Structure formats: structure tokens, C-alpha cells
Chains A and B, each alone.
Chain A
């Protein structure tokens, strides 16, 4: 969803703005999905991303370490609700998307805004606004893609489910639910790196770690890992990585020629089991 939004608003779309997300889809999302949305507002150029506090927020916070308790909790809830945007609030700009029109979205280039639906084609230069063409040309050369080629079916060497943005407990639960019974394709290096110590512990307790291990993923210690490659987890040469992290800039995964294709955690799992960029809906028979 956020890749779709950034694709349409651009990586500079949010300059000078704070993004507030609302509407029935966002209201129905759990907190962790909202965090992914808000976290990646930065990739869209915005200063912050925000979703109004509601019962979902309170249910998520109540009882967590450092959350206020008793009378302090009631006072905090009241204070937070007072921060909700007024129904007649004035916005500098409003953009509307229809969730049912969003296909799983993946990047093809070197910025998070260079994205397409999984069944789409990499754009032809002439289809792009003139100001986007130089970066698009640079991206095509770096990624080794041809304009107009489909993204589906592109072979991958590495699959990475990780990062603070997209390796929360709900992400791992969702992937594990569909991954059971599948195997990582031979020749693909697949890693899961939980977003935090807490997530790692919970996932071990729930048996999620075991599902990943049985499928052929390496279950790793929590941390940043390949998201920015400050430890030994990195791409070699021009390896291509299907990644649930939030950034696909040149050299981001440690190799100055390494290639990153951003997608949701479930889409990474689909890529891991097929060995190529794939549609998770087809691979796991979702919604068909």
C-alpha cells in the first residue's frame, strides 16, 4: 500500500508536508501495519506519517512496558483523543486512493518511488514525466532491467524478511501462515531477521521461527541486518534481493552493485519459494 502511495506521489511528494493517513482501510488496519505506512512516509519525502489514535491504538498500547497505568492511563487516553484531527480540519492537500485497486507493489529501480504492480511492466522512458527520466535511466542501468519488461519472473538470489519497518510480529505471523508446506527454492539464500528482541522471543514461543526454519529460511538474531548491511549480512556483487526492508538505494545492502527489490514480507516469501519475483496471491492461493 505504501509503495503504491509513494509511486503515485513520488519520493519528493511529501517535501514540506506531514502525511496523515485516514479512511476506512487505515481505520481497519492493525497498529503494526499503520506503523509500516507511517515509517515509510519518510521515503515519500514527508517529515512524519500519522494516523489518528483510536481503540486499535489503545488496545495495542494498554499493558505494554512504559504505558501509563490506572488513572494515568485514563488521562493519557483522553489527552491522545484530544489530538485527533477535527472532522472539519483543513488540509493543505488531500489525495484519495482506493484500496481495492492496489495490487501487490514492488520496486524496479533505485528509489522507493520507482514501483509497479506485480503484474505490471517496467515503464518505458517516454511514459515517464521528463524530470523522472534521468533517474529512471540510471535505475535501469544499475538494475540491469529493460524498459517495458515484466517484473514478475525476474530471478532472485537472496530473500530478506526483516527491518524495523516490516518484520514485526504480525508480519511474521502472516508469512508463517502461508509458508507452511512450502520450501525455499534451491540456490536462494533466505533470511528472516525479526524486527526486535521482543518480536524474536514471541515468534519463537508461537512456533513461527520453526515454520521459517523448516521452509529453509535462516532464522537470525534481531537487528538491522541486510536492511543497511552494517554487519556481515550483505549482498555480493550484483546479487538481486527480494526485500521487505524500506530502502532500495544503490549499494544499500552493502555491495556497491547489489540490487534490492522492495515488497511486502509475504511477497518476499513468494519470491523465496519460487526463486523469482512472484505474485503472492498466486503462489499461496490467496483470494482466488
Chain B
């Protein structure tokens, strides 16, 4: 049974920057793995560490945000290469959800399919959230996917997310490949109609 995402609660880490691409989220040289285990340590590696491996100033290296489980981003997050490794690294670094202004299409799809909700706020609400978290890293943020809102301090902001994705997350039906594989006989039936090489051959 997959996890049902209804309300996600936690502290947040503010990561500013427009159009942050998947090569920054997870540099390609760390993709030489068979499973996604341990990818969390390479999250934003070249932004967080210099060429000798010494930490650079970065929100993810900032002790005030240690243990945060919600990633705050700006617009166009996750552009570039479609790589599952990018949302996997975010998830495996301990994040449960991402709040931003907008997400690259494919990144959004990849994240949703591994159970990492990406929700959008209007620029004004997002701005207030960024400033609130930067002023008070202990601030508790709540993402409510049922009532479609983000709550923090005394503020409630409406969130947006593609409705099919929201339903899938809330109902625990966010793994389409898993569902597909469970279709069994239906798959074989479809397979027989295809003009190109079939699974059985």
C-alpha cells in the first residue's frame, strides 16, 4: 500500500534561484548507480561544495535549517534533463515535499511518480513564506493537499497542483508503473495488438 499524502508538516529550507536545472540538483557524474540509495548526499553537490570538497555557504549547509523536510524554491524549478535521480536525491536527503512558484513539467511528473509532492503558491504568498522562514527557521509549515492550502504562522495560502496529481497523492495512487504492472492479463492483450516486437518474443 502506498503512502497517502494528505497533510505534510515540517520546517522548511529556503532555496532561492530561478530555473534551477536538474544538473544542479544532481550533477550527472553521480548518476552512475544501480539504485537510488545514498543519492541524498550528492544533492546540489557542486553548489554546496568546492572542488576540494569543502562546504560553501548554501542553505542546505546552514545548520539553522538542518532537519527541514520541506524545500522552498522559486519558479521553473527542475528544468533541463529528465532524470529521476533529481527528485530521488531530494527525497533521499529527507525532504517530503517541495513548495515553489512553478515546476518544470517533466520534473513535476518524475517527482509525483515517486511520491514527492510539488505544490505551487502565488508569488506573493510564496514571497511571504520565504521571508517568514528566513526570519524564523523554526517555523512550522503545513501543506494540506485535501483542503488545498499551505498554512504557516497565522497565514493560510491557497495552493495549486494539477488535480490528477493531487488526487493520486491523496489516494496513494501515485505510482503509475506499479499500477501498470499489476494489470497483468490486460497488458498481454494490448501487447498482442502492437505491430513491433512484443514482450513475449
Contacts and interface: CB of A to CB of B under 8 A. Distances in A.
Interface of A: 11-12, 14-16, 42-43, 45-47, 66, 68, 72, 76, 111, 131, 134-135, 138, 228-230, 247, 249-252, 254, 256-257
Interface in B94-131: 102-106
B76 A15 contact: yes
B197 A11 contact: no
B18, B51, B76, B79: residue with the most chain A Cβ atoms closer than 10 Å: B79
A250 B23 contact: yes
Contacts of B103: 15
B106 A228 contact: no
A247 B23 contact: yes
Contact of A111 (B21, B27, B75): B21
Contacts, number: 77
A192 to B, nearest CB: 21
Those 10 A-B pairs whose CB atoms lie nearest each other, nearest first: A228-B28, A249-B23, A256-B46, A68-B195, A66-B196, A47-B105, A249-B21, A12-B76, A251-B46, A252-B23
A135 B24 contact: no
A174 to B, nearest CB: 26
Interface residues of B, number: 27
A72 B27 CA distance: 44
A252 B80 CA distance: 10
Contacts of B196: 66, 68
A72 B46 contact: no
A43 to B, nearest CB: 7
Nearest to A254: B29
Give the secondary structure class of B's interface: loop
Nearest to B32: A230
Contacts of B32: 230
12 contacts: A12-B76, A15-B104, A16-B105, A42-B80, A46-B105, A68-B196, A134-B17, A134-B18, A249-B80, A251-B27, A254-B28, A257-B51
A228 B81 contact: yes
A18 to B, nearest CB: 9
A42 B82 contact: yes
Interface string B148-163: 0000000000000000
Interface string B28-62: 11011000000000000010000100000000000
B76 A247 contact: no
